[in-house]
Amino acid sequence: NEEKRNLSLGGHVGFDSLPDQLVRETGIGKSTLMNTLFNTMFENEEASHYQNGVCMRPRTYDLQESNVHLKLTIVDTVGFGDQINKEESYKPIVDYIDTQFENYLQEELKIKRSLFNYHDGRIHICLYFISPTGHSLKSLDLVTMKKLDSK
C-alpha cells in the first residue's frame, strides 16, 4: 500500500509568468477568446476606432485554478488596423517585442542580477487574429506576420 504525499504549493508554478500578445483589428473577438480560454472575465476598456496609431496596452492578472497560480500578462494592440494609412501599423508591435527582449537581456547580463523577482515581459505567445471576411489575407496581415516571424 503506497502512501501518497500531498505537497502544498507556495507560489507560482512552472510557467508562472505567461506574457502573450493579441494582434488584430478592434472588435474582432480577442477579449472574448481570452475570457473563454481562461474562464474568467478580464477587465476591458473600450477601444476607439479613431486613434492616431497603434499603442500597446499590457495588463497583468494573477489567476488561480485549484492550487496552481498563474501570472498572465496580456498585451493588447489597441488601434491596430484602424488607421487609413496602415503601412507601418506593425512597427509598434515589433518595437515592443524587441524592447521587452532587450530589457530581459540587460537584466540577465548584470553581475548582480535578480531574475527571481524580475517580471519577464517578453512575449511568449502571439495570437494573430485573421478577419473572417471570406476574402484573402489583407496586405497588412501578410506584412505583419512576416515581421513577427523573425521574432
Distance CA 43, CA 59 (A): 9
Each residue of 60-102: pLDDT tens digit?
A: 888 887 777 788 888 888 888 776 677 788 899 999 999 999 9
Distance CA 94, CA 90 (A): 6
- pLDDT of residue 39 exceeding 50, the answer is yes
Query: What's the pLDDT score for residue 25?
Result: 63
Which structural domains are found in the chain, ordered by start? 12-149 (3.40.50.300)
Distance CA 138, CA 140 (A): 5
- pLDDT of residue 16 exceeding 50, the answer is no
- What is the chain's mean pLDDT, rounded? 77
